Amino acid sequence: MKKILKSKQGEGYLDIAIGVLCLLLVVSFAVSLFPVFTAKQQLDTFATEIVREAEIKGRTSVDSRIADMREQTGLDPKIRWNCDYYSGNKVQLDGDMEVVLTDTVDIGFFIFGPFPVEIQAKATGKSEVYYK
């Protein structure tokens, strides 16, 4: 019995099995984090698209574009505008426009449950409309 316990035969197989297990855990962790990066990219695109629409229209009421982007991306972010308003929701020519979008994405890793991660996107632009 003592001789069997001191034997080093088969040790390589155990090392490989543990290595493969660790590799699978790392890959599964990366796969669970991938949706966060995808959502961040979609949120950045969302912000640039609605700020560009606001630049062209010269106002921050771009509800139809926001609805289109919500449908395309599947995201429903909180939207905050920070602009140099001329009157109402209009922004004078060359006036600064900034939009900040905030959304929460849940990630989970096996039995540890979901972890909410807040992602934020910001886009800036200038109004291209002159109001008399």
Give SS3 for 105.
strand
State the average pLDDT over residues 66-85: 93
pLDDT above 70: residue 6 = no
Strands (E), 1-132: 78-83, 85-87, 90-91, 96-108, 114-126
**Which DSSP helix (H) or strand (E) runs through 95?**
none
Domain boundaries, the chain: 11-126
Dihedral sign of CA atoms 116, 61, 124, 53 in order: positive
Q: What percent of the chain has pLDDT over 70?
A: 90
Give 11-22 pLDDT, tens digit per residue: 777 778 888 999
For the entire predicted model, the pTM comes to: 0.78
128 pLDDT band (50/70/90 cuts)? very high
User: Residue 7: its pLDDT value, please?
Assistant: 66
Cα(127)–Cα(129) distance, rounded to whole angstroms? 6
User: Residue 104: its pLDDT value, please?
Assistant: 94
User: Residue 65: its pLDDT value, please?
Assistant: 94
